[in-house]
Amino acid sequence: MSRLLKGVAASGGVAVGPIHLYRHELPPLPQGEPEDADAEVERFHQAVERVAAHLGRLEEKTRAEIGDDAAQIFSAHALFLEDPSLTDPIEEEIRRGAYAEAAVAEVAERVAGEFEAMEEEYFAARAADIRDLGTQILRELLGVGQPDLSGLSEPSIIVAYDLTPSDTALIPPGMALGFCTMVGSAVSHTAILARSLGIPAVVGIGEVDATAGTTAVLDGDAGTVLLDPSEDEVASARAEIERQERERAEAIAHAKEPAATIDGHLVEVVANVGGVEDAVRAAESGAEGVGLVRTEFMFLDRADLPDEDEQVEAYRAIMGPFPTGPVVFRTLDVGGDKQLPAVEIAPELNPFLGKRGIRLTLAEPEIFRTQLRAILRAGAGRMVQVMFPMVASPAEVRAARRILEEVEAELDRAGIERATDIEVGVMIEVPSAALMADLLADEVDFFSIGTNDLTQYTLAVDRTNPVVAPLADALHPAVLRLIRQVVEAAHEKGRWVGVCGELAGDPLATPVLVGLSVDELSMSPPSVPIVKSRIRALSRENCRELARECLAADDPAEVRRILAAAS
């Protein structure tokens, strides 16, 4: 009998295949006393060797794919493995009669606690490293290996509690047919990642009670996973995959052509990127530029901040595939669910309402200045756009622009080449910014509406909380009304407006965004061809009428019905 699980649609497309359960949990530890302490000590050393070998492989792979600095995390971990302040007490514990597993668990926790109690931040932060290493040794001792996906050898639907960028980075190409996570929402970073990889995904599905290898049909548009499907169900899923592939191939064939409606209205279609690989993929997919560089992606998952030269290099590489197209660099947007190991933010009860985006960079001007210098240097000889995230009021923009001007003057004094053709914009993702768009328009050249956060803050729905995920619908009429207000205010002052939240890449939403006169749509690279082909089938006049109907609807379900009936 097949079983249907319902979650949240996170990345479109259908996948059929065996499920691969990606589990972090550990089996129970052995109880009692081992007979042979020497053999236990030997078992411990062998486990440490296997962990060291695993770290070596991760280091090599990371160095080749990401760079030296990111790879250092793994070499630092390997050094801890040889540190007698960790290994000696474990051996002593074993010789006192403990199983290696119990000794590792106890000592790792004790040493981590000692680090945590230290005054210096650097040492306190090492507690997490020790716990992580302890778990890795335990996994080897318990014979369950490291929970990484690099060994995946059969194309599978990966079912996990959650997936981080480092989990997915290790998946060999072609082995992930789909992602299904127990937690997360449509705008959580797992979902964004799946969309940028073009892999169907369902998130926030809750507990999945299934054994590895069970066949499943994952539908990333409907947000469902069907376990143990019948032959007919598999056949119809395969037919749907073929239909989608044909539609996609057709869209890709025209991807590099501009996107104008049948009545001749041009919409700029650009991409959201997190690094150079995304930028290359974006250009290949027909994106006309980059509407959002999530620069924080190069700051996350590493112990130190990238210096100015490293940033210059990374930003130049991102602009490489777009020698003439626009490239919008969003300044560091950390805080909320994106924490930076190198910058301590005191624990907050509501991090999404805390020190995030522009609030953090204004409070840490050195980080901000270094980044602005790097963007300006990287943009020498071409046009470059700088955008500030999480802006809530005009004063923040003025403060940020003052720093930008100081940085420009500083570079000029030092005779350093820099961009002189600069556009400055802000993300509209806080309701106050949308409501004050007329005044913000005096401070900037453009707006880009971040519907992911604008939805979260307008509807008071935490974008990462699976319990309320279905409420986080960017097609809510309240969000659409704010978009209308922002576009009208901007156009009045001759400013252009983009949308760079996930809504921009949803083909169902294309007609309403065109009808609301949004000038630019920025999305994950795989969505570009489909959205362009959707625009080419629309009439602007009809879209305007459709937008009026959507704005008058009283809930997102009605908006979806209106849009589905028109598509």
Six-digit token pair at 273?
């990127």
The yes-or-no answer on residue 20 being catalytic is no
Query: What is the rounded distance in angstroms from the CA atom of residue 6 to the CA atom of residue 219?
Result: 10
- In 323-411 the beta strands, taken as DSSP E runs, fall at 327-330, 383-388
Give the HSE-up count for residue 324: Cα atoms under 13 Å, Cβ half-sphere.
0
Task: Give the type of residue at 177.
Answer: L
Q: Is 101 in the site for ligand PEP (CB under 6 A)?
A: no
- Told to check if 450 binds Mg ion by CB under 5 A, we report yes
| Closest approach of ligand PEP to the CB of residue 261, in Å | 24
Are 263 and 540 spatial neighbours (Cβ–Cβ below 8 Å)? Answer: yes
136 binds ligand PEP (CB under 6 A): no
487-526: which residues touch ligand PEP (CB under 6 A)?
Answer: 500-501
**Residue 64: partners with Cβ closer than 8 Å, 6 or more residues away:** none
451, 464, 517, 524: which one binds ligand PEP (CB under 6 A): 451
| Separation of alpha carbons 98 and 34, rounded Å | 7
# residues contacting ligand PEP (CB under 6 A):
10
Nearer to Mg ion, 450 or 556 (CB): 450
Provide the 8-state DSSP code for 429.
Answer: -
x/- map, 402-441, ligand PEP, by CB under 6 A: ---------------------------x------------
Residue bearing tokens 């074993």: 94
Binding-site size for Mg ion (CB under 5 A) equals 3
Binding mask 326-355 for ligand PEP (x = CB under 6 A): -------x----------------------
Site string for Mg ion, 297-336 (x = CB under 5 A): ----------------------------------------
Least distance from ligand PEP to the Cβ atom of residue 110, Å: 39
Residue 453 binds ligand PEP (CB under 6 A): yes
Structure tokens at 160: 């996990």
Query: Which does residue 40 touch among Mg ion, ligand PEP, none (CB within 5 to 8 A, set by kind)?
Result: none
Q: 77, 476, 500, 550: which is the annotated catalytic residue? A: 500
DSSP string computed for 147-205: --GGG--S-EEEEES---HHHHHTSPTT-EEEEEESS--TTSHHHHHHHHHT--EEE--
Question: Contact between 294 and ligand PEP (CB under 6 A)?
Answer: yes
Whole-angstrom distance, CA of residue 434 vs CA of residue 436: 5
User: Do residues 285 and 271 lie in contact, with contact meaning Cβ atoms separated by under 8 Å?
Assistant: yes
498 binds, among Mg ion, ligand PEP, none (CB under 5 to 8 A by kind): none
Q: Does residue 125 contact residue 132 with C-beta atoms inside 8 Å?
A: no
Check if 77 is active-site: no
From the list ligand PEP, Mg ion, none, partner contacted by residue 379 (C-beta under 5 to 8 A by kind): none
Question: In the bound complex, what is the minimum distance in angstroms from residue 52's beta carbon to Mg ion?
Answer: 39
Taking each helix axis from N to C end, the angle separating 68-81 and 84-95, rounded to the nearest 10 degrees, works out to 40
Residue 429 CB, shortest distance to ligand PEP, in Å, is 5
Which residues in this chain contact ligand PEP in the complex, by CB under 6 A? 292, 294, 333, 429, 450-453, 500-501
Catalytic residue annotation? 189, 500
